[in-house]
Structure 1
Amino acid sequence: MSSVLFRNGCLLVPGETELVGERDVLVEDGLIKEVSDRPIKASSAREIDVRGKTLMPGLIDLHVHVFGLGLNIDTLARTPNVLVTLRAVPGIAAMLRRGFTTVRDAGGANFAIREAIESGLITGPRMFVSGRSISQTGGHGDKRSRSDFLLPDFPECGCARVGGLNRVADGLDGVRKAVREEFQMGADQIKIMASGGVSSPTDPIGAMGYSEEETRAIVAEASSRHTYVMAHAYTAEAIGRAVRCGVRSIEHGNLIDLATAGLMSTAGAYAVPTLVTYRALASEGQSHGLPPESMGKISEVKDASMRSLELFRQAGVKMGFGTDLLGASQRLQSEEFRIRCEVLPPSEVIRSATTIGAEILNMQGKLGELVPNAFADLLVVDGNPLRDINCLTGQGESIPLVMKGGKICFDELTA
């Protein structure tokens, strides 16, 4: 792989509140080779002068659904596998164009789409996949509408369709088997449903998910594979139970209270708020077919979402960056930056999408920062995101160059 030398860029270091000054950054063999405040000599490297622009690490979104092509999960689960896959490809590339060089899929994506990206068959971010989310019968992952009988082979309850983002499993033996199957099929981590949800038809927000015994069994299976469990959870009660059972990453967390946030901090659990999705659902959900019972639940969690950021911060809970957008709303991915900056300073929000994201993925020193031996995931940005977060919003208009793993994937600097 060829070498690239970025000269004179203003370096953004996650955690710092100001750019650290002009630096040269040398990339070799897909890794950051050297970062220096003095000119680097590399005669064989392609040189790119980025004076006046910001050099920063690639962004990490910890809660995406690359196969979540619409709000009607029933229709999606019945769509042929090839159509779901091909329709997802442009959206996957668009994430990378926005500067997200790494994403964690929170339900649906499998090893095949990860391999397609890694092999260069399609363009997209580095991907950590969860396989299908695992839900109890009647939980957030059970998308069957209420009726007087249940079809055991309904698409959403199995794992045979690409568009089926979830699967249903109950009991200790059932959940252990489901987790083992997801790992066998290539999952990097496991996603479970620990409370009710917005888009599911039969469970209120306050409904509890898996029992403590089932949750501990799932966590034990993940631990045996040296990885972790992430859990969809809204209420303080559900979050507390999940954390006490060893869940490491709490998704959403809108209805947290300070005591439970303190429990998370003590346990070393992370929060991944996804605020933009509630604004998107509130404004676009009905027009895209979200049923009335779901629209009624959106306002409950949307109104509490900003307060949750304050509580997590007050308790010292580390927050990762997530979006959880479906269908056409995926274009709003970078709006999460703007929303969080209504409560938090830009430096903290950027840290959530860089070094904290790397921590959650157990990729410290490899992702989320421009340091020697890290993966060369790098953005060139017009402007200073620490002063104006709008540099990172939109569809990448202010990000003229995106590099992932040492390969320049998008380059408008030359033009």
Structure 2
Amino acid sequence: MDTPPGRSRTVIRNCNLFNGIDDRKVVGADVVFSGTTISAVSTSPVAQQAGDTVIDAGGRFLMPGMSDAHVHLMGNANSYMDFIMGPTGGLYINTLAEAKSMLHRGFTTVRDMGGDLAAVKTAIDRGQFEGPRIFPSQAMISQTSGHADFAFVYQTPQAFGGGPSRTEEIGFTRVADGAAKVLTAVREQLRKGATQIKLTVGGGAASMYDPLNTLQYTTDEIRAAVEAAADYGTYVATHVYTVEGIRRAIDAGVRSIEHGHLADEDTVALIAEKDIWLSMQPFAEHDHSYPDPGRAAKNVQICNGTDAVYGWARKHGVKTAWGTDLLLEPASAPKQSEMAARLGEFYTNVDALKMLTSGNAELFGMAGPRNPYAAHQLGTIAEGAWADMLLFDGDPIADLSIIGRPDEQLKVIVKNGVVVKNDL
């Protein structure tokens, strides 16, 4: 446990440790980190060295940094009017501000499922701004009239000589019709630094043109995206809710179903059989606000499916990830913490905490050679893992609502070996 000359180390002493993997916490542990990684985890007191920084946890609860498998950092930070009327620079300033807020809620890693985040990710990784580690998908890829087609109804599609929508101009979305253009769109996102690809293959609540029951993209189009992503060693994740859409995505080789709230039990069992990820969100009606009756009705239908699909996922042993998918309502961004705690309505507290840490990290690892953080483990507190940790005042294994109140309960945040917050 000796530290190389010239490198200081930090000791978190006397914590109740949940390592993100085991069911039980370890009482009275010491954790040592030096540089960006954890150098030791000990069940007995670590001998102090000259130059050590010591954080006395006083028996508080230490866990890995939390993660969110379905965020839209740019979409979370900006309203619809910001997107269509605001200056481009303002979109990125708001995104960086939200990235800092997200880290201070305890989310040290996120998978971004739509937005031009590669440059934001790089700036955060360099330490120029505070924020979580980001697995960017870059632009959401959609067919014309699909979930990520944000063009106005009177605009001529590009295939007929029209220009790109505002969200395409800024890299938030990409509309591509036909297998050849889907290939180009996927390769474009990979060129821009995408770690995985996001395809929208069904209707959604936030979108204006597509009823939930619509099937979007043919099997050949989806398969083209899957093949292009596989050539880069990564995978395709698809926005989709319905049985027919999920089954089409599975047939085409998709590896992660995003949402799936309108699935039936046979389809959930198929997801388990095919060893595919289900990236779910514990939606409640009040998470989103839709002023028009059509989108509000779609939101209700989606939320009503949440309980059943979680139950079938548990029953069939589906690999389930957790995310939020908050979008276009910046004032709702803090609900991320509330939604994390809400996971306890569907899983035991320990299983919820695992999903928020090592579980999501396993999904992120499917990016393979595109994984920018593969040098060390994410989502766990272990020797050699990334030094991403949270110290809570209270025990989330006993009361998961604690993680829903980060301003009150979250006392220390460590990300990449840097103590971002210390309120002890």
The TM-score, its normalising length taken from structure 1, stands at: 0.92
User: How much does 1:278 deviate?
Assistant: 4.3
Change in 2 beyond 3 A, CA 1:302/1:276: closer
Give yes or no for the alignment of 1:340 onto 2:343: yes
User: How much does 1:315 deviate?
Assistant: 1.4
- The one-letter code matched in structure 2 to 1:387 is A
* CA distance in structure 2 between the partners assigned to 1:154 and 1:294 by the alignment: 24
Q: Residue 397 of structure 2 aligns with which residue?
A: 386
Greater mean deviation of Cα atoms: 331-340 or 9-18? 9-18
Q: Residue 285 of structure 1 aligns with which residue?
A: 290
Matched residue SS, 1:358: helix
* CA distance in structure 2 between the partners assigned to 1:167 and 1:49 by the alignment: 49
- The one-letter code matched in structure 2 to 1:198 is A
Change in 2 beyond 3 A, CA 1:8/1:71: closer
- CA offset digits 1:358-404 (Å, max 9, x no partner): 11011786111001111000111111111101110134421111000
2:415 to 398, 404, 410: 404
Q: Residue 86 of structure 1 aligns with which residue?
A: 93
Greater mean deviation of Cα atoms: 94-103 or 60-69? 60-69
- The one-letter code matched in structure 2 to 1:88 is T
1:302-313 aligned at under 5 Å gives the runs 302-313=303-314
Q: Residue 20 of structure 2 aligns with which residue?
A: 14
* CA distance in structure 2 between the partners assigned to 1:93 and 1:70 by the alignment: 11
Q: Residue 29 of structure 1 aligns with which residue?
A: 35
- CA offset digits 1:127-186 (Å, max 9, x no partner): 11110000011110012344485463242563x31xx52110011110000011111111
1:64–1:323 contact (8 Å) kept in structure 2:
yes
User: How much does 1:208 deviate?
Assistant: 0.9
- The one-letter code matched in structure 2 to 1:136 is Q
Matched residue SS, 1:237: helix
1:349 to 346, 349, 352: 352
Change in 2 beyond 3 A, CA 1:72/1:201: farther
Q: Residue 369 of structure 2 aligns with which residue?
A: none
Q: Residue 198 of structure 1 aligns with which residue?
A: 205
User: How much does 1:72 deviate?
Assistant: 5.5
* CA distance in structure 1 between the partners assigned to 2:43 and 2:220 by the alignment: 54
* CA distance in structure 1 between the partners assigned to 2:157 and 2:317 by the alignment: 44
1:156–1:166 contact (8 Å) kept in structure 2:
no
1:147-226 aligned at under 5 Å gives the runs 147=154, 149-150=156-157, 152-156=162-166, 158=168, 160-161=169-170, 165-226=172-233
Q: Residue 140 of structure 1 aligns with which residue?
A: 147
Change in 2 beyond 3 A, CA 1:104/1:278: farther
User: How much does 1:279 deviate?
Assistant: 3.0
* CA distance in structure 2 between the partners assigned to 1:99 and 1:88 by the alignment: 17
Q: Residue 122 of structure 1 aligns with which residue?
A: 129
Change in 2 beyond 3 A, CA 1:154/1:38: same
* CA distance in structure 1 between the partners assigned to 2:84 and 2:417 by the alignment: 36
Change in 2 beyond 3 A, CA 1:85/1:148: closer
Change in 2 beyond 3 A, CA 1:69/1:113: same
Matched residue SS, 1:25: strand
1:219–1:246 contact (8 Å) kept in structure 2:
yes
1:140–1:197 contact (8 Å) kept in structure 2:
yes
- CA offset digits 1:5-42 (Å, max 9, x no partner): 11110011334443222211110121011111112224
RMSD: 1.9
User: Which runs of 5 or more structure 1 residues have no equivalent in the other structure?
Assistant: none
1:277–1:325 contact (8 Å) kept in structure 2:
no
Aligned length: 404
2:260–2:280 contact (8 Å) kept in structure 1:
yes
1:20-59 aligned at under 5 Å gives the runs 20-43=26-49, 44-59=51-66
Greater mean deviation of Cα atoms: 356-365 or 97-106? 356-365
1:57–1:369 contact (8 Å) kept in structure 2:
yes
Change in 2 beyond 3 A, CA 1:147/1:14: same
User: How much does 1:352 deviate?
Assistant: 1.0
1:256–1:308 contact (8 Å) kept in structure 2:
yes
- The one-letter code matched in structure 2 to 1:340 is L
* CA distance in structure 2 between the partners assigned to 1:197 and 1:132 by the alignment: 17
1:276–1:333 contact (8 Å) kept in structure 2:
no
2:21–2:380 contact (8 Å) kept in structure 1:
no
Matched residue SS, 2:73: coil
Give yes or no for the alignment of 1:323 onto 2:324: yes
User: Which runs of 5 or more structure 2 residues have no equivalent in the other structure?
Assistant: 1-6, 366-372
1:277–1:324 contact (8 Å) kept in structure 2:
no
1:179–1:190 contact (8 Å) kept in structure 2:
yes
Matched residue SS, 1:6: strand
Q: Residue 297 of structure 2 aligns with which residue?
A: 296
Greater mean deviation of Cα atoms: 392-401 or 31-40? 392-401
2:238–2:256 contact (8 Å) kept in structure 1:
yes
2:142–2:176 contact (8 Å) kept in structure 1:
yes
User: How much does 1:307 deviate?
Assistant: 1.5
Matched residue SS, 1:361: helix
